[in-house]
């Protein structure tokens, strides 16, 4: 009985804290309820527990530490890896009527000193700081003389050597926390983390009995597609022509590709700009703002762009080449559809992408601070991730399911919203083809790469065949009647299923595995799924008709009538006008999703406007009357 009496006040306190958090959520952010996982994570932090949240891009991670920061005494330090990320978060908070600041190298000494002065005076409940600043003497003096209630680690996967964005500066976080007079609550958040990286975050940040929540990696609003066109630029141009007026990102593997694609798009009349590390800081800043402020529709960039860019109306992310791992791909693709509306993520694959990414791995300078043994382990891990990324481009299974399984999440094998699920497949017995390919690899004593093996079984009459004497191989010409692209599909399938493996490096060689014996000696059969439209697609350079056609879906995910579409455009024009007046990105005024909700509700009063998702009291005070007049047609 005493136990029950003791628990009741604790439960009442917890319920009161969650209710207070909901009131702040509505007042400043305009939302009536928590998204999946947010209530548990907010409640955990408010109860004083260390907390780790793994939530997909667009799931509202920042709310999970911002709400407690506004309710806890003292200051919350948010450790963030990029200046652009900090700037975007602070601007969003200030726009919502909340005081926040950032401390990084973009500030002048005078601005930095002023920010610390205001922080000491209690002006900022939330301060964003770069990890490199943590052990700076001036910052340490400030932190040790101020009440730090929470240290929130954003992009927490950066602490792990097994993460795709490992940053040695993140390893300083624990030392910083240990030097504080009182240990604060420590929370950590990331969008992409395998089980290994998750465990690493807990260990390396020394989280104490943390609440750990993974809400799931599935972004149902995103369409995933893989294409292998002969003309990549032509495929991209065709995509943009069928998606006029939409905002999106095109990721390229190299700076040279960025320059070529961007200049070609501008030449062909598209609204495009560029971003890569080779540009001057001022041009990068200007180009990024042009995209974020909707002055330019398309951003062509390397992977240097995007982290912390909270632009909600990105309707597509195209990859002009395959990234080196699925973590990077899913993080970059996840920058589409942050407003919850339908968006498309398409990867244009070429076999040269594997060579380019292997070169990046071989010349990686990010891990110079590691010892030689650890560097070798990291390199091996990078190569394994590249292999799994390559298999993503080969698989005929559901693309979404492939990604989710990579992150340890298991569900349906059919999502109905990826290029593989929307392609008609038939199951085909490919045992004889598999036997010939494996036999060829065995008979040439595993000395050659995929091109030589495929040319041999297809009976190619080339100088290389004669030079290597492969025209005398017992399997030479044995599969001459099978199209080369079919042979490559089977070879890829054998790799995917573990019957073959290909060495890394400049001279990649096809090797047999222990599993090869099942086919060569034990008579195992092999079947795989083939697209019924494969011949047609191969002739057209991989253009999939389903993907090339415009799928008519509204940007915010709701069906609008013709009158509502007209109202939506009026509201967007008003939003752009306000954004220009205040020097803000339009999405910081209201998101597309909020404008669409206005079109559906058609609010006529203050009370009705406050029912719109994304309209809080503070923003209503700034913009509400103007949008009410716009809805009324005045």
d(CA 522, CA 499): 13
For residue 413, being part of any structural domain is answered with no
Q: Where are the beta strands (DSSP E) in 255-375?
A: 272-275, 298-301, 314-320, 343-348
Asked, for residue 541, whether it belongs to a domain, the answer is no
Q: pLDDT digits over 213-261, tens only?
A: 988 888 889 999 999 998 999 999 999 999 998 999 999 999 999 999 9
The domain boundary, picked from 406, 434, 456, lies at 406
155 and 207 both lie in a single domain: yes
Same domain, 91 and 164: yes
Closest Cα to residue 524, out of 533, 514, 534? Answer: 514
Does 155 lie in the same domain as 129? yes
Among 495, 499, 461, 493, smallest CA distance to 477 is for 461
> Which of the listed residues 375, 406, 437 is the one where a domain comes to its end?
406
Q: Are residues 310 and 265 in the same domain?
A: yes
Kindly state whether residues 183 and 226 are assigned to the same domain: no
198 and 230 both lie in a single domain? no
CATH of the domain at 474: 1.10.10.10
In the block, which residue shows the tokens 């415009």? 550
pLDDT, tens digit, for every residue of 364-411? Answer: 665 556 677 777 777 888 888 898 999 999 888 899 999 999 988 877
* CATH code, domain carrying 390: 3.40.50.300
Is 470 domain-assigned? yes
Q: Residue 500: which residues within 8 A CB-CB, separation 6 or more?
A: 437, 438, 441, 491, 494, 510, 511, 512, 513, 516
387 phi, psi to nearest 5 deg: -60, -45
Question: What pLDDT sits at residue 341?
Answer: 84
Q: Residue 325: which of 253, 262, 397 has the closest Cα?
A: 253
Q: Are residues 55 and 198 in the same domain?
A: yes
With CA atoms as reference, report the closest residue to 126 among 58, 59, 177, 80. 80
**pLDDT < 50 positions in the chain:** 1-4, 534-556
Helices 109-120 and 137-144 cross at an angle (nearest 10°) of 10
Domain boundary among 191, 214, 237: 214
Looking at the domain assignment, is residue 13 inside a domain? yes
In a domain, 89, yes or no: yes
DSSP string, 232-250: HHHHHHHHHHTSTT-EEEE
Containing domain of residue 345, as a range? 222-406
Q: What is the C-alpha to C-alpha distance for residues 201 and 247, in angstroms, rounded to an integer?
A: 34
Domain assignment of residue 266, yes or no:
yes
d(CA 81, CA 156): 9
Q: CB of 283 within 8 A of CB of 301?
A: no
Q: Is 294 within the bounds of a domain?
A: yes
Quick one: pLDDT at residue 277? Answer: 87
Torsion of CA 562, 564, 566, 569, to 10 degrees: -140
- Asked whether residue 209 falls in the same domain as residue 234, the answer is no
Q: Which residues pair with 102 in a beta bridge?
A: 128
Decide if 464 is inside a domain.
Answer: yes
CATH number of the CATH domain containing 608 = 1.10.150.80
In the structure encoding, which two tokens stand for residue 359, read together? 């070169």
**Is residue 133 located within the same domain as residue 273?**
no
Of 193, 190, 166, 162, nearest in space to 406 by CA:
193
């Amino acid at each position: 009985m005493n136990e029950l009496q003791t628990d009741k006040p604790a439960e009442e306190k917890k319920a009161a804290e969650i209710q207070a958090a909901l009131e702040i959520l509505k007042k400043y952010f305009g939302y009536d309820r928590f998204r999946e996982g947010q209530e548990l994570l907010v409640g955990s932090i408010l109860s004083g527990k260390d907390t780790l949240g793994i939530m997909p891009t667009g799931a509202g991670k920042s709310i999970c530490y911002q709400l407690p920061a506004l309710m806890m005494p003292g200051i919350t330090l948010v450790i963030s890896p990029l200046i652009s990320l900090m700037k975007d978060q602070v601007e969003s908070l200030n726009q919502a009527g909340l005081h926040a600041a950032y401390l990084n190298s973009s500030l002048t000494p005078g601005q930095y000193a002023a920010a610390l002065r205001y922080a000491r005076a209690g002006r900022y409940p939330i301060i964003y700081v770069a990890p490199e600043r943590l052990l700076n003497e001036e910052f340490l003096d400030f932190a040790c003389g101020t009440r730090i209630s929470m240290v929130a680690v954003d992009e927490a996967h950066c602490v792990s050597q097994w993460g795709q964005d490992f940053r040695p500066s993140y390893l300083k976080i624990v030392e910083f926390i240990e030097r504080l007079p009182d240990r604060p609550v420590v929370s950590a958040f990331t969008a992409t983390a395998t089980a290994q990286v998750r465990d690493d975050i807990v260990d390396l940040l020394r989280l104490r009995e943390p609440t750990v929540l993974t809400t799931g990696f599935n972004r149902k609003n995103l369409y995933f597609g893989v294409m292998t066109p002969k003309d990549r630029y032509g495929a991209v141009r065709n995509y943009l022509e069928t998606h006029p007026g939409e905002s999106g990102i095109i990721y390229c593997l190299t700076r040279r590709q960025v320059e070529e694609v961007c200049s070609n798009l501008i030449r062909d009349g598209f609204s495009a700009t560029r971003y890569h590390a080779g540009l001057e800081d001022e041009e990068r800043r200007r180009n990024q703002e042009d995209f974020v402020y909707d002055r330019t529709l398309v951003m062509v960039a390397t992977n240097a762009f995007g982290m912390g860019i909270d632009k909600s109306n990105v309707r597509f992310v195209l990859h002009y080449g395959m990234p080196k791992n699925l973590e990077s791909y899913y993080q970059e693709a996840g920058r589409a559809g942050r407003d919850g509306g339908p968006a498309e993520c398409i990867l244009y694959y070429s076999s040269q992408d594997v060579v380019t990414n292997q070169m990046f791995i071989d010349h990686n300078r990010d891990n110079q601070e590691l010892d030689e043994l650890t560097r070798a382990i990291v390199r091996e891990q990078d190569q394994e991730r590249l292999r799994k990324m390559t298999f993503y481009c080969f698989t005929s299974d559901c693309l979404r399911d492939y990604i989710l399984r990579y992150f340890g999440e298991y569900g349906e094998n059919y999502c109905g919203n990826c290029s593989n699920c929307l392609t008609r497949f038939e199951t085909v017995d490919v045992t004889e083809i598999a036997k010939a390919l494996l036999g060829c690899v065995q008979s040439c004593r595993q000395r050659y790469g995929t091109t030589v093996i495929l040319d041999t079984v297809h009976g190619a009459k080339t100088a290389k065949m004669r030079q290597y004497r492969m025209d005398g191989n017992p399997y030479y010409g044995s599969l001459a009647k099978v199209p080369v692209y079919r042979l490559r599909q089977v070879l890829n399938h054998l790799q995917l299923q573990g019957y073959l493996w290909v060495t890394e490096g400049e001279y990649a060689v096809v090797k047999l595995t222990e599993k090869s014996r099942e086919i060569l000696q034990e008579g195992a059969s092999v079947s795989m799924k083939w697209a019924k439209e494969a011949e047609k697609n191969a002739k057209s350079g991989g253009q999939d008709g389903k993907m090339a056609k415009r799928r008519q879906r509204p940007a915010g995910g709701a069906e609008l009538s013709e009158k509502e579409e007209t109202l939506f455009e009026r509201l967007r024009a008003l939003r752009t006008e306000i954004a220009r007046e205040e020097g803000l990105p339009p999405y910081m005024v209201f998101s597309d999703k909020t404008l669409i909700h206005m079109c559906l509700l058609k609010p006529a009063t203050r009370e009705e406007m406050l029912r719109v998702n994304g309209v809080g009291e503070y923003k209503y005070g700034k913009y509400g009357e103007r949008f009410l007049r716009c809805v009324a047609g005045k």
